[in-house]
Amino acid sequence: MQFASKLPDVGTTIFTIMSRRAVEEGALNIGQGFPDYPIDPALSDSLLEVIAEGRNQYAPMEGAVELREQICSKLQTCYGRRFDPMSEVTVTCGATESLYDAIQAVVGPGDEAVIFDPAYDVYEPAIRLAGARCVRIPLEPPAFRFDWDRFEAVLSARTRLVIINSPQNPSCSVISAEDLDALAARIRDRPISVLSDEVYEHVLFDGARHQSVLSHEELRARSYAVFSFGKTLHATGWRVGYCVAPADMTRELRRVHQFNTFSIASPLQFGIARYLTKHPDAWHGLAGFFQAKRDLLAGLLRGSGLEPVTARGTYFLLVDYGALSHESDMDFADRLIREAKVATIPLSPFYAEPPRMTLVRLCTAKHDATLRTAAQRLREFARRR
């Protein structure tokens, strides 16, 4: 049968490739972004309780009311505004589903969506599946600063969506209040929505505060803001995320969501809701927790030839191997797997047209012992070169 692929140039994600290579070579995987330590036992207890109590049938399409109410309390604490759980919050299968649904809701054939490279890998395929064109603007390492004039220059009569991500994976940079103002000014008189990927909202370092579109009066009125309990509760495998948007935009997102996943695993939603009732400040220590891990790993690597680039947020750390090699990041990352027995993630797959750079990404959401072992292997590798 003749079968035309809708995404002919999309291969296996770099995360799967590197994790597979890590298994083949028996390497320590500190590339892919998932914790290797357990979740809070109180969270597992909440899940087991709600299962035993029979919360095992379909949850409401929009999300369990108890969970949406907890989410609204959390949003009020964090962003100073009361959102309506009934009309402005939707629970989805991870942040990934929120991103997909929002993109399908906003863009279609003939439309354009703007994203910034290095970009998290789910945005472009979802834009193309909607039939729209993805316009990618590269941000230059090591600062990865926005150039809003360049952004304005790519806007056209077809532009319908811009996607931002802060704290940003994989650059570990964060957006500033001035950036949000600049974005708002550039799209003010245009029919452009914002999709704001804020899954690392609680992981900013050195005292910085997260700049959410939800705290920005003008942007909030045209934004989908996307969050993930996977990141906030160290439970990436639970796949529970949510999207916050004005009622009219939420209505359109739900039109996609109800025919995509319909509703999210009931016990997980009720389990998280119960846990948040008992631990309403569950995310409070996250920034300090990950800052300590960033500082541990960066401190162990500094001076080794694999130089840490200061991470402003996320649970990742970029290291620059330029002092050791000028190989491509794909080749160098594969060498690290083979020779150092450490799996990392190269940065170039996050760009449409990668700039010259010698950076790989490490994940700090690991036991301190894992980070120490990885650092020791990397230092020994660097010494041998």
For ligand PLP, the closer CB: 116 or 151: 116
- 75-114 positions binding ligand PLP, by CB under 6 A: 94-96
Over the window 272 to 311, marking each residue x when it contacts ligand PLP by CB under 6 A and - when it does not, the resulting string is ----------------------------------------
Q: Which of residues 194-253 bind ligand PLP (CB under 6 A)?
A: 197, 199, 228, 230, 236, 241
| Neighbouring-strand partners of residue 197 | 165, 226
228 beta partners? 241
Q: Given candidates 19, 90, 165, 344, which one binds ligand PLP under the rule CB under 6 A? A: 165
Distance in angstroms between the alpha carbons of the first and the last residue of the chain = 52
Nearest CA to 105 out of 222, 205, 1 is that of 222
Q: Which residue lies nearer to ligand PLP by CB, 205 or 381? A: 205
Query: Does the protein bind ligand PLP through residue 349 (CB under 6 A)?
Result: no
Neighbours of 76 (CB within 10 A): 12
- Name the maximum alpha-carbon separation found in the chain: 60
Residue from 19, 28, 30, 33 binding ligand PLP (CB under 6 A): 33
Nearer to ligand PLP, 16 or 376 (CB): 16
Nearest distance from residue 211's CB to ligand PLP, in Å?
15
Q: Which amino acid is at 273?
A: A
Q: What is the DSSP letter of 318?
A: E
Number of H helices, E strands in the chain: 14, 13
CB closer to ligand PLP, 16 vs 156: 16
CB nearer to ligand PLP: give 242 or 381: 242
d(CA 167, CA 200): 6
Q: Does 73 bind ligand PLP (CB under 6 A)?
A: no
Out of 104, 166, 169, 232, the only residue in the binding site for ligand PLP (CB under 6 A) is 169
Closest to ligand PLP by CB, 282 vs 340, is: 282
Asked if the peptide bond before residue 170 counts as cis, ω within 30 degrees of 0, the response is yes
The span from the CA of 92 to the CA of 99, in Å, is: 9
Contacts of 19 (CB under 8 A, 6+ apart): 29, 31, 32, 343
Query: Shortest gap between Cβ of 32 and ligand PLP (angstroms)?
Result: 9
- Select from 176, 178, 171, 179 the least CA-distant residue to 142: 171
In sequence order, which residues have a C-beta less than 8 Å from that of residue 54 and are 6 or more positions away?
none
- Contacts with ligand PLP by CB under 6 A lie at 33, 94-96, 120, 165, 169, 197, 199, 228, 230, 236, 241
